Amino acid sequence: MTEQAPPPTPAGQGERSTRDLTKASVSGWLGTAMEFMDFQLYSLAAALVFNQIFFPDLNPAIGLIAAMGTYGVGYVARLAGAVYFGRMGDRLGPKKVLFITVALMGVSTTLIGALPTYQQVGLLAPIMLVGLRLAQGFGAGAEIAGATVMLAEYAPARRRGFIASLVCLGTNSGTLGASAIWAVLVFALSEAELLAWGWRIPFLASALLLLLALWIRHSVKESPVFEQREDIVDGVAMSREELAATAVEKDTSTLEAALHQRKGRAFLIALGLRFGQAGNSGIVQTFLVGYLSATLLMDGSVGTSAIVYGSLLGFVTVPLVGVLGDRFGRRPLYFCLTVASMLFAVPMMLMINSGDVVLVTVAMVVGLNLSVLGLFSVESVTMAELFGARTRFTQLALAKEIGGVLATAIGPVLAATLTAVTGSWWPLAAMIITYSLITLVSTYFMPEVRGRDLVRLEDAV
């Protein structure tokens, strides 16, 4: 597809300084860090204390299931948030949406720390917990997509992969931060203190991060791509009818292309690209940690420590992959990462099932950086470049959330079922190979999008 130069814009419109880019980068990193910190704080609280605080009258096992169920409803809300805020972002611009989403996530998380317990108000306590969890997930459903859109549309074309990779670094920072906070609390407080008041500390303290995120996002300028779009009038996107009338009036091929392009192909490719990263994440970051302790009877710290080491290495892997994508293109990088993931799947599982702590740690660190973080880094910028400006936010958010539900949420359950039925590790290797193969096939049908003009309204394919 031949690229066209972006339309001329009024003086100063669409122009951004290095300071503007820095603010947008910090905003994107901080927002995704906050999203994943909020979710990790909640997931650990659900696993450690919420069953006793909000469901004390239930059998301990049932109470844990109920607590984890409140965690799961957040993923349903994420999908709804992706639809609602995605459309709003395409119509009003990502800046406005990102301010709302970070406020919704942050306020919900802070209020969880102020909730009364079951002993204080009875059934009302878990009901309020579920309500705040839904609000938290609703905002988070568009946060990572919006941050990706904002960074990609701000970044110079030749550095777009590197700048967009900051979204992935934000997820790493948030997960590590939340894990560290809970580790300190569990170490420093007795169980009685943790249940009485200690569990509130990380949720209430998150208000400081919220205030910082709101201050930064308030000062960030709107995406320069949004301001340059031909369908934007007075800061609002035209409806399809208004766009069609304008296209006829101006005889503008760009508008006509956006109107008449068949929708769906770019979305299906993006969904396939998402499957590799999301599916592998569910296996490596979630299931294998439990597999090591429950099936291989290894100490629980082995898996969690390996994930921490792998995440720390990710602070090098993620920007490096972004730079390589800018240098060699998105498709070659996808081909290399997915093929390498498929080839490493069996050796990784053999190393893990050896029972040797060093081999297990190396296998998980390499698997995490190769099959999860590496793919996540290139995924962010590729999806932004794959979609046209008119529906980029909505399609990107839906591809990420639908892919996450189908692969990350369902994958560990399927893995547990298959390993229980077969009594073997080979289904885990097969799942990693399958997830990576889906991404490899999607890469084959994907055009090279590196440096694509993001002002264009139509999808790349």
Residues 110 and 214 in one domain: yes
What pLDDT shows up at residue 198?
Answer: 92
Helix H segments across 189-264? 191-193, 200-219, 224-228, 240-250, 253-260
What pLDDT shows up at residue 314?
Answer: 93
Classify residue 239: in a domain, yes or no.
no
Measured CA to CA, the distance from residue 138 to residue 131 in angstroms comes to: 11
What pLDDT shows up at residue 380?
Answer: 87
Residues 272 and 390 in one domain: yes
Residues 217 and 261 in one domain: no
What is this structure's pTM?
0.84
Contacts of 372 (CB under 8 A, 6+ apart): 277, 280, 281, 284, 285
* DSSP class of 121: H
Q: 117 is in which domain, residue-wise?
A: 18-224
Residues 81 and 216 in one domain: yes
Residues 316 and 215 in one domain: no
* Nearest of 435, 181, 176 to residue 310 by alpha carbon: 176
What pLDDT shows up at residue 256?
Answer: 57
What pLDDT shows up at residue 249?
Answer: 58
What pLDDT shows up at residue 9?
Answer: 42
Classify residue 247: in a domain, yes or no.
no
What pLDDT shows up at residue 71?
Answer: 56
Q: Is 53 exposed, middle or buried (0-12, 13-18, 19+ CB in 10 A)?
A: buried
Residues 162 and 261 in one domain: no
Per-residue pLDDT in tens (0 to 9) along the chain, 461 residues: 434 444 444 434 456 778 888 888 888 888 888 888 887 787 778 767 877 888 776 666 565 555 556 556 667 788 899 999 999 999 889 999 999 999 999 999 999 999 999 889 888 988 898 889 889 889 888 888 999 999 999 999 999 999 999 888 888 888 888 878 888 888 888 888 988 999 999 999 999 989 998 999 888 988 899 888 877 777 787 766 666 666 655 555 555 555 555 668 999 999 999 999 999 988 998 788 778 877 888 887 788 788 889 989 999 999 999 999 999 999 999 999 999 999 999 999 999 999 899 999 999 999 999 999 999 999 989 999 999 998 999 999 999 999 888 887 788 878 888 888 899 999 999 999 999 999 999 999 999 999 999 998 889 98
Residues 351 and 425 in one domain: yes
Do residues 136 and 42 touch, judged by C-beta distance below 8 A?
Answer: yes
Residues 202 and 275 in one domain: no
Q: Dig out the tokens for 93 from the structure.
A: 């611009």
Classify residue 243: in a domain, yes or no.
no
Residues 201 and 295 in one domain: no
What pLDDT shows up at residue 35?
Answer: 82
Classify residue 452: in a domain, yes or no.
no
Classify residue 244: in a domain, yes or no.
no
What pLDDT shows up at residue 5?
Answer: 40
What pLDDT shows up at residue 443?
Answer: 97
Measured CA to CA, the distance from residue 40 to residue 52 in angstroms comes to: 19
Classify residue 240: in a domain, yes or no.
no
Overall residue count recorded for the chain in this entry: 461
Residues 263 and 220 in one domain: no
Answer with the one of 202, 224, 246 that is the final residue of a domain.
224
Classify residue 234: in a domain, yes or no.
no
Sign of CA dihedral 5, 85, 399, 111: positive
Structural domains of the chain, count: 2
Classify residue 457: in a domain, yes or no.
no
Cα angle 247, 248, 253 (rounded to 5 degrees) comes to 50
Phi-psi domain of 453 (left: phi exceeds 0; alpha: psi -120 through 50; beta: other): beta
Q: Dig out the tokens for 162 from the structure.
A: 């590197």
CATH number at residue 309: 1.20.1250.20
Helix H segments across 387-425? 392-403, 411-422
Residues 305 and 415 in one domain: yes
Residues 220 and 272 in one domain: no
